[in-house]
Structures are given as C-alpha cells and as structure tokens.
Chains A and B, each alone.
Chain A
C-alpha cells in the first residue's frame, strides 16, 4: 500500500475509534474530540466569533503552521473528510482518468476561488459573533456523518450480525458473546446529514475531490499558508512531458505545462512522483529552474462582496429570533421545548460556540440528545436538544460536556452538572391518568431521581394526584420519558426556570435560587452508582405528602397484599 493510503487509513481509524469512545462513561485521558480541534476553520472561525483564544483549539494552529512547511499535507493524509471522499470516489468513479487536457490546473480552475469566498462569508459573519462554521467545517461535517447517521446504522447492523452468528458463537463456546447487547440508537435529522454529504460526494462526478479543491474553507486557510511551502513539488530536466502526472493528480494542482505546480492546491500525496516514468519529480532536494503557476485567486471585489454577504448574514441572524443579545434585547428567545444539555452556555454564546459536530449527541448514553432541524431557526440547525419524551438525562453522566470541542457545553464536574437546571416539568392534567380518569398511577413519582413529584389527596379524586415540586425539579425528563400515556406525555419538561451560566458555579446559583437537587436513589437511572456526591448537596426538606397515614390505601402496604 502507498504511504499516503497507510496514513489515511490509520487516521480514519483513529478518528472513528475516538468517536466510538465519545460515550459514557467518558474514558479519562482520551481527547475524543481531537480531530475537531485540528480543523483550521473551527479554530479560526470560532476564535473570531468569540474574540478570544480558545486553548483547546490550538492544535489547529499547529496544522496551519505545518502548511508553511509541507503545504496541504493535512488534506491528503489526516482529514477524515478527505479520506472518506477518496473512499467514496473509489466506488463512484471509473478507474479511467480524464485526459490531461481536461485535468490540468488551468482546465479545472473555474470553481477554485469559491472556497476563499466561502471563508470570507464565514469570517464576515464571525465578526458579528455569528458562527456559520458548521456550514462548511470539514471535520464537523464528517463527525456528523459518522456520529449521527452511520453510527445508528452500524448499531443496527451489529445486532443483526450477532443474531446471525449466535449458533456459531454457542458452538465455539463463546456463549457470553451471544448474549451481547448492542445499544440501538435513533437520531433525528439523520437523513439531512446524509443528504448533505451525498451532495458533497456526488460533486466528484464533476471533478475528483470537488469539495477539497473548490469548497472547503478549512482547505482555503491551509491554501493561503501553502503558497510556497518548504517541501513542494519540483520537476527536473529529465521530464519528457508525457503528461501522465496531470491526469493522476487528485486535486488538479499541476498546470498544462507539467513542470508547473500550484502548491496551494497540492495535497502532497506524492502520486506524481511515484508514477513518473522518468523519475523527474521530487518534493525534497535541490530546486533549480523552478516554474510555478499563479493560482486562481478570487478578485478583490469578489472577496469584499463575500465578506459583505457574511456581515449581512450575521446581521440577519443577530436580528433573527433565536440569537438576539446585548444591543437588541435582554435575552434570547428559545422555544419552550428547546431544552439544551445541562451546562450549556447562554443561548447566544452557545450558538456562537457550537460547531454542530454532533459529538454530544453521539456521546449521550440515553439517546435523549438529538440534533434539531429547524426548531431553533435556520441558524440553529443541528444544535443539540434533549428530547425528553424519547429519553431522559442520566444523573451520573455529563458526557456531552466532556466531548464538546469548543466548550459550548461547559465541562462541569458531576456535582455542578447536577445543579444545572435545564427546565421544569409540569403536569398536563387532561392527559394524566390520575387527574383525568382517576386511575392509580405513580410512574412519574417512581422514576423521578430528585423526588420532585409529590402525590397529594384532592377533593373529588379517589386516588392521590401528582404535583411537581418545582424547586426540586432539575428538568431531566425521567418523568416525561416514562409517562405511560401514549403520544404526548401527561408530564412534560419546559424550559421554565432553566439556568445558563457562562462562568461560575451552578451549585451556588442553585442555592441562591432556593433549589434543592438531591437524588433519592443514586442508581435510579441505570448508570454507574457512587459518582453523584450526595454529601455535598443541601439536604431535602422534610417531605410532606399532605396525606395523613391512616388515609393511605391498603393501610400503607403494597397493593399486592390483602390486608386483613
């Protein structure tokens, strides 16, 4: 196998391995979002957006500086998007290459400036603190593809495979494996993620690696820094102008005169060097009589227009419904069911930081985190929300904060996370079996990890009815997810009372607000016990059920006993 392919394979495998480990319990010592931290667009775009240096994103600066030495080597070797496109093309495209006339840089330069313009638009919007990074960040796009779409499908496939090989496993004495459970995951908006990637891949029918050549703004940043890298293509005098390298170049970086190169388009895959029958091409060694080709640059006018478009887009987003902030209104509007993960930054800051990579959604062990499609507006696409009817937030887990590359969800210790109120449950009496039909049902109380549902006797009801004790409710959604009525639950979480702190302690703020979050059973939610520090939270006030003991049904005994 060629060197480039070996590195690409290792890189993609590492990327997928890290993505797999982006889960609860979070593996200490692993940086599962490492590839996202390498993305030049995420780093530059986000730092401009928030006007500050984010130390977690400094690896991308190293990638950019590497471009000064070896050009766009990241694109050809490390980038999982590039590797995935290569893989896709090997299936999609015929092995027969286009003729050299049609493959040269000059013949394919038409769309090249688009990537710079896209970068200008994103940076234009970033100056107004609006992040459009997610639209075109290659690592964000590819993390979404694998984490939100292909992961769910892979889980389904693994389960089917286990079923198929179960007799074989038993025969081999591996009965334990036959019982293995693969978590089954469902993701909202997964088809849209796939559709976006399909568009990127299909563009290869126009030109190979169409995305990398013409559209990728991260590639554009690297291109700017690799005009004349230290290690670059050089053609010696033995060249017979057979033009084979022009046809083989995956990014069309070689000019019509095969001795010329556009280094900012070269991904240093070394293919030309390997196939040259005269061994005329080298990337190291002496350079004599070097002929460089001037890359196709966007006109100054076009760049100004693009940056202006970005500014305008930023202004539109800022005056849109979801992203209002200082200078417009005191707080942003969030939909009543747009429940963000615990520890999420205030909405406007969150939208500036979130690159929509979907790592938090992939990592969520209960599958409650889901990417939103249009619920948060056009500028909120693919941001995470809790779908509390589908599943609940686990008490012992804060994987979403651990995996976030930009700290749009703060990396909080568990005790802090378990004071970050994300909403409040309220009872919809028309849907409730007890309130509406006077049936006996205690499910919301039984599953509430925080003892925030209280059943009380009311006139005209044979059975005690549920009330939410709002200063004990953290908004985790166990009640809503387990409510036995079909369709919409009779108890639903709303953003009422959510707390978002850009800095400082959630525990102290909760105390200030008189909130008492104390789990009644630290194993309630099927996740690891012992990690929630009960000692460090304020004690719950003595519970008053409002019902004298003698009124308890069945003399206070479980209904399974016949009291005599």
Chain B
C-alpha cells in the first residue's frame, strides 16, 4: 500500500473528521473514497477454507466495505438462491458468504440490508434449502426475501439499449443506495457461465423473455448497463462446473472468493480460474463478457489489472 503519498491528506481528513464529529456533523465521511480511488486494487482474491473469513478478507483487501457502504445507506444484496438445492450442490451462493457480506454492510452502518432474488423453484424450498435466510438471521437489519409479486417491480428504460429497451426491475433495487452482487461461480446451459452479470436477471420480472424474445447475451449486457453492481463478491468456495444453472452437475471446490468493484473483471477472473464443462476458457470466449467489455462496462483484460491475492 502506498501510504506515504497520502499521509498529509490522511492527517488533514483525520483532523477535519474529528472536528466534524465534535461539532456533531457525524454523517461526515472520514474516508473520502475519491481521494483514495486510484490506490485501490482492481480486484482481490482471497483463498482459504473458512468461507466467511475469506469473504471478509477479500473485501478488506479491496479497500474495505466502507469504500462502498456509507452509514445510513440502504443496501440490496443479490445472491443466487433460485433453486431448491443445498449449498453443497453449487447452484446457490454459499450462505456463509452472503451472511458475511450482509454483516460487513451492517458494520459499515447500513440501515437496511435486503437480500433479494426472484427465485425459480418453490420459494419455500429455495429459502429453506439454500440456507441463506438461516445464515442471515443473526445479522441485524437484514431481510432475506423472494420477490415475485408484480407490485414490487417497476418499469425502467434502458438508455442505449441494443436489445431490451425497458425492463421491470425490483423497486427496492432502484431505490437502494448500494447494490452488491454475491453470485456463486456456476455454469449455465445458455449463457455458458452465470456470474455477477447473468445473476442480475434475478432482479427482473420477466426474465423468461430474455431467453425467448431477445438475444440473451446482448440482453444481459443491456440489463447490467442499468443494474451495475457497486461491489461484486463471487463465491468460489466451490463452483458448479457442469449442469448449471440448476444442477445437478460437477461441483469443484476452489476455496476462494473474488471481490471487485468491476463486474466484468470479477466475472472474467472467475471464468479464468474455473474449469467449465471439462475445459478452460479465456474470459472473452464468453459472449456476454466479451460484449460487456466491448461496451466499456468493465475490463476483461485480466493481465492488465491490479489483482491482490490474500489468504485467510
């Protein structure tokens, strides 16, 4: 970490912050993200056997949760919990990873954390078998819910869309201050892989039309041009290498978590680290990742990114 260059800045902020606290302006931010931005890594990869611990250290290595969540913020976390299957089957996000991200948000002062998905299987099964609500129960201010009722969605125009010019999105996502994607690394029978970008389809009312009416790959990119997560935490504790998105399929333990503010980079990294359908792929071999990078929604040129590796 290059602290020296910013020591003066840091002291200035610190004094200002103290003064602000003393004068009661408690909402003043102690750490101004803009001033620090250039020093954050593009990505952090944490390896280890404790899913919660590697989640925390990946986010910390990226600059800490406070970089993304400010006190008083409302946060929406988008996990994968669309299938009535157990954590070991790999079609849903590891519940400990989701709960740890929620806990980090709470610690950063979020007033409300909503863990939302529009599930595919029976909602009761998805919620109970995924283990996500159980894991999040102890995290204060956190609600885990299946969002399927139409009243909870509102229609949004997609500027500069290639395929889908408008879509119905969960209102709470549109109103949230921070959107965090917490997908599991998994294969997908249509899109090849389903990671942070593909996973955002769980926030859409009529995701079926993405498959039937539009070119899926461009539709995904249109969607994430609108629903760009502020932070991506990919669960690579184990990946569903084949049989995705619902499984059953080959589950490979990787014991890692990827964190990045760049959804394209995070997805690209997961593609490169994993094995899919018995093969290795370059990120640009996944259509929607290639399109997203071409449309400048993020970077897939992993070799030029600043990646921090940590272990926990």
Chain A residues proximal to chain B, CB less than 8 Å: 159-160, 162-163, 166, 175-176, 179-182, 441, 443, 484, 521, 523, 526-529, 556-564
Stretch at the interface among B47-55, B188-196, B223-231: B188-196
Chain B residues with CB under 8 A of A176? 143, 145
A562, B290: Cβ atoms closer than 8 Å: yes
Chain B residues with CB under 8 A of A526? 120-122
Is B67 close to A, CB under 8 A?
no
Whose C-beta in chain A lies nearest to the C-beta of B123? A181
Q: A179-B152, A523-B83, A523-B84 are in contact. Are A561 and B286 (CB under 8 A)?
A: yes
Roughly how many angstroms separate A559 CA and B216 CA in the complex, as a whole number? 10
Whose C-beta in chain A lies nearest to the C-beta of B119? A526
B217, A528: Cβ atoms closer than 8 Å: no
Chain B residues proximal to chain A, CB less than 8 Å: 83-85, 112, 114, 116, 120-125, 129, 143, 145-149, 151-152, 187-193, 212, 216-217, 246, 276-277, 279, 281-282, 284-288, 290
Chain B residues with CB under 8 A of A160? 151
Chain B residues with CB under 8 A of A163? 151
Chain B residues with CB under 8 A of A162? 149, 151
Whose C-beta in chain B lies nearest to the C-beta of A482? B208
Chain A residues with CB under 8 A of B277? 556-558
Residue in contact with A558 in the complex, picked from B146, B191, B246, CB distance below 8 Å? B191
Chain B residues with CB under 8 A of A175? 112, 114, 143, 145
B246, A521: Cβ atoms closer than 8 Å: yes
- The dominant DSSP class at the B interface is mixed
- The dominant DSSP class at the A interface is loop
Whose C-beta in chain B lies nearest to the C-beta of A25? B124
Q: What are 11 A-B pairs at a CB distance below 8 A?
A: A159-B151, A162-B149, A163-B151, A175-B145, A179-B147, A179-B149, A181-B149, A560-B192, A560-B286, A561-B287, A562-B284
Chain A residues with CB under 8 A of B84? 523, 528-529
Whose C-beta in chain B lies nearest to the C-beta of A170? B112
Roughly how many angstroms separate A521 CA and B125 CA in the complex, as a whole number? 14
Roughly how many angstroms separate A526 CA and B121 CA in the complex, as a whole number? 4
Chain A residues with CB under 8 A of B123? 181
Whose C-beta in chain A lies nearest to the C-beta of B215? A559
Q: A175-B143, A523-B84, A557-B277 are in contact. Are A528 and B191 (CB under 8 A)?
A: no
B288, A484: Cβ atoms closer than 8 Å: no
Chain B residues with CB under 8 A of A484? 212
Roughly how many angstroms separate A561 CA and B212 CA in the complex, as a whole number? 18
Known: A526-B121, A560-B192, A560-B216. 6 other contacts (CB 8 A): A163-B151, A175-B114, A523-B125, A523-B246, A558-B277, A561-B286
Residue in contact with A159 in the complex, picked from B145, B149, B188, CB distance below 8 Å? B149
Interface centre among A160, A526, A558 (most CB of B within 10 A): A558
Residue in contact with B125 in the complex, picked from A529, A559, A560, A564, CB distance below 8 Å? A529
| 7 pairs of A and B residues whose beta carbons are closest in the complex | A560-B192, A560-B191, A179-B145, A163-B151, A561-B192, A181-B149, A484-B212
Roughly how many angstroms separate A162 CA and B150 CA in the complex, as a whole number? 11
Minimum CB–CB distance for B169 against chain A, Å: 15
Chain A residues with CB under 8 A of B145? 175-176, 179
Roughly how many angstroms separate A162 CA and B277 CA in the complex, as a whole number? 44
Whose C-beta in chain A lies nearest to the C-beta of B281? A561
Chain A residues with CB under 8 A of B122? 523, 526-529
Roughly how many angstroms separate A160 CA and B276 CA in the complex, as a whole number? 45
Chain B residues with CB under 8 A of A564? 282, 285
Minimum CB–CB distance for B151 against chain A, Å: 4
Residue in contact with A560 in the complex, picked from B114, B121, B287, CB distance below 8 Å? B287
Roughly how many angstroms separate A166 CA and B153 CA in the complex, as a whole number? 13
Minimum CB–CB distance for B116 against chain A, Å: 8
Residue in contact with B188 in the complex, picked from A528, A556, A560, CB distance below 8 Å? A560
Residue in contact with B187 in the complex, picked from A159, A179, A558, A559, CB distance below 8 Å? A558
B217, A443: Cβ atoms closer than 8 Å: no
Minimum CB–CB distance for A562 against chain B, Å: 5
Roughly how many angstroms separate A562 CA and B282 CA in the complex, as a whole number? 10
B187, A523: Cβ atoms closer than 8 Å: no
Interface centre among B85, B145, B193 (most CB of A within 10 A): B145
Chain B residues with CB under 8 A of A560? 188, 190-193, 216-217, 286-288
Whose C-beta in chain A lies nearest to the C-beta of B114? A175
Minimum CB–CB distance for A163 against chain B, Å: 4
Chain B residues with CB under 8 A of A561? 192, 276, 281, 285-287
A562, B287: Cβ atoms closer than 8 Å: yes
Residue in contact with B121 in the complex, picked from A523, A558, A563, CB distance below 8 Å? A523
Chain A residues with CB under 8 A of B282? 564
Roughly how many angstroms separate A70 CA and B187 CA in the complex, as a whole number? 70
B149, A182: Cβ atoms closer than 8 Å: yes
B187, A443: Cβ atoms closer than 8 Å: no
Minimum CB–CB distance for B148 against chain A, Å: 5
B287, A180: Cβ atoms closer than 8 Å: no
Roughly how many angstroms separate A162 CA and B123 CA in the complex, as a whole number? 18
Chain B residues with CB under 8 A of A159? 149, 151
Minimum CB–CB distance for A288 against chain B, Å: 65
Minimum CB–CB distance for A166 against chain B, Å: 8
Whose C-beta in chain A lies nearest to the C-beta of B144? A176
Minimum CB–CB distance for B288 against chain A, Å: 7
Chain B residues with CB under 8 A of A179? 116, 143, 145-147, 149, 152
Chain B residues with CB under 8 A of A562? 284-287, 290
Roughly how many angstroms separate A166 CA and B151 CA in the complex, as a whole number? 10
Minimum CB–CB distance for A195 against chain B, Å: 29
Roughly how many angstroms separate A557 CA and B191 CA in the complex, as a whole number? 10
Whose C-beta in chain B lies nearest to the C-beta of A394? B122
A558, B149: Cβ atoms closer than 8 Å: no
Roughly how many angstroms separate A529 CA and B216 CA in the complex, as a whole number? 29
Chain A residues with CB under 8 A of B285? 561-564
B146, A181: Cβ atoms closer than 8 Å: yes
Interface centre among A179, A441, A443, A557 (most CB of B within 10 A): A179
Minimum CB–CB distance for B119 against chain A, Å: 9
Roughly how many angstroms separate A291 CA and B139 CA in the complex, as a whole number? 76
Residue in contact with B192 in the complex, picked from A166, A441, A558, CB distance below 8 Å? A558
Chain A residues with CB under 8 A of B191? 558, 560
Minimum CB–CB distance for A529 against chain B, Å: 5
Roughly how many angstroms separate A560 CA and B151 CA in the complex, as a whole number? 32
Roughly how many angstroms separate A177 CA and B288 CA in the complex, as a whole number? 36
Roughly how many angstroms separate A557 CA and B188 CA in the complex, as a whole number? 10
Roughly how many angstroms separate A556 CA and B277 CA in the complex, as a whole number? 9
Minimum CB–CB distance for B283 against chain A, Å: 11
Chain A residues with CB under 8 A of B146? 179, 181
